Amino acid sequence: MSNYNPKPADKFTFGLWTVGNIGRDPFGEATRKVISPIQIVHMLAEVGAWGVNLHDNDLVPIDATLSERDQIVANFKKALDDSGIVVPMATTNLFTDPAFKDGAFTSNDPNVRAYALQKTMNAIDLGIELGAKIYVFWGGREGSESDSAKNPLDGIKRMRDAMNFLCEYVKDQDYDLKFALEPKPNEPRSNIYLPTVGHALAFIETLDNPDMCGVNPEVAHEHMAGLNFTHGVAQAWDAGKLFHIDLNDQLFGRYDQDFRFGSEMIKQNFYLVKFLEDVGYGGSRHFDAHAYRSSNYDDVREFAKGCMRTYLILKEKAAQFNADAEIQALLAEINDDDGSFDYLNSGYSQDAAAKLRSAEIDRVALGERNLPYEKLDQLTMEVLLGVR
Ligand code: GLT
Ligand code: MN
Ligand code: MN
């Protein structure tokens, strides 16, 4: 059994906005004092994280002068150097300022759209300066309350125009940077464009530079839509588009709870970790979560440690599942193949079709065959519950 201590190779990251969350919600004021980005970097180093991610304005206030910006960035870089923390991902805040009340890239107002592009170019420059290789786009305000106010077709087209413009900007600057679109079905808008991983994957194929763009799926966001997160992640992986991942937890059908990873739906998160480890996902394991509003900063540390520890425990459980002789024997039985239909593996041919047409297949026997999934699922549960 491991000691579950995080190592840099685990690639665990947190956003400045996650451990720095001050506990404000729509009904209540902050319950924690603001701590500085530099304090956050040191806290992350102390708990054993590898990296920190940020929005432009998590670090540089929106109204900072250029010289203030440069000083803030220099101080922040020193904290990174001192602590050994890296910045693998950056993003733009396109949702807090009232200018973005009707969206950023998809606003009806061309001035807002231009400002959003300008702000993102500057934020990309900042991300590059800090070493980021992945740039996330979470379109929290890109949507509508009333579809009388904005045509969804315009929304999609404007989103595409923005992504195309920014991809060309990155190419023009010779930046080594990839884009990751983060879907969410609603909140803070009633309806957000590109609501799920599937919508985002389909949209990416319509861009001028689809190779530069992938997705950043978040557990909580797919759970808000009642979807199986691991299935969405698998589809992104299959398409070569799993550029980043936001780990947290929450119950189905709730608001965006952003709870500690693994705090609610252990079985779902087990399959997720198992998937990421089995396929060899090499990107950041980013915890886009925050501590309960009732926590002080000591408890925020416990929250951060808990995210990483639970991931490592589930990783160990996945290895145990893969090494369990009884489970593997059941899987072998389930996937039994006598090779009779190997000729279908190379796809359609007239020969294959003719052979298939004359094959005798015992439908009744197929229907009568037992699939020991109850037994397999119970064994999985027992691995998870620690009794195997
Ligand atoms: C915001 C949102 C997250 C996004 C972040 C990136 S900010 O907290 O809830 O899901 O990943 O912009
Ligand atoms: Mn969220
Ligand atoms: Mn997120």
> What is the C-alpha to C-alpha distance for residues 155 and 363, in angstroms, rounded to an integer?
49
Distance, in Å, from the CA atom of 208 to the CA atom of 213, rounded to the nearest integer, reads: 10
Mean pLDDT score, 106-115: 98
Task: Tell how many helices (H) and how many strands (E) occur in the chain.
Answer: 15, 10
Cα distances from 319 to residues 28, 72, 179, 270, in angstroms, run 43, 44, 31, 11
User: For the segment 5-14, what is each residue's pLDDT rounded down to a tens digit?
Assistant: 999 999 999 9
**Which one is catalytic: 10, 25, 42, 55?**
55
32-74, pLDDT tens digit by residue?
999 999 999 999 999 999 999 999 999 999 999 999 999 999 9
CB–CB of 20/58 below 8 Å? yes
pLDDT-based confidence at residue 177 (cuts at 50, 70, 90): very high
Instruction: Specify whether 238 is catalytic.
Output: no
**Res 1 pLDDT > 70:** no
The model's pTM:
0.97
Angstrom distance (rounded) from CA 165 to CA 162: 5
CA–centroid distance, 266 to ligand 2, in Å, is 18
Cα–Cα distance, 77 to 94 (Å, whole number): 24
Q: What is the pLDDT of residue 103?
A: 98
What are the pLDDT digits (tens) for 352-386?
999 999 999 999 999 999 999 999 999 999 999 99
- Whole-angstrom Cα distance, residue 277 to residue 216? 17
Query: Is the bond into 26 cis (omega within 30 degrees of 0)?
Result: no
What ligand 1 atom has the least distance to the C-alpha of 258? 9
Instruction: Report the chain's mean pLDDT, rounded to a whole number.
Output: 98
**For strand 143-144 and strand 191-192, is the pairing parallel, antiparallel, or unpaired?**
antiparallel
Using DSSP's 3-state secondary structure scheme, residue 271 falls into helix
Residues within a 6 A CB radius of ligand 1: 17, 55, 91, 136, 138, 182, 218, 246, 256, 288
Cα distances (angstroms) measured from residue 101 to each of 29, 73, 97: 21, 28, 7
pLDDT interval class at 2 (50, 70, 90): confident
The alpha carbon of 249 and the centre of ligand 3 are apart by a number of angstroms equal to 11
Q: Is 154 in contact with 109 (CB distance < 8 Å)?
A: no
pLDDT tens readout for residues 300-358: 999 999 999 999 999 999 999 999 999 999 999 999 999 999 999 999 999 999 999 99
With beta carbons less than 8 A apart as the criterion, state whether 56 and 73 touch: no
58 an active-site residue? yes
Return the beta strands (E) in the chain as ranges. 12-15, 51-55, 89-91, 134-138, 143-144, 178-182, 191-192, 213-215, 246-247, 285-287
pLDDT band at 104 (very low <50, low <70, confident <90, very high): very high
pLDDT digits (tens, 9 = 90+) for 259-293: 999 999 999 999 999 999 999 999 999 999 999 99
3-state secondary structure of 352: helix
- Total number of residues shown for the chain: 388
Write down the pLDDT at residue 213.
99
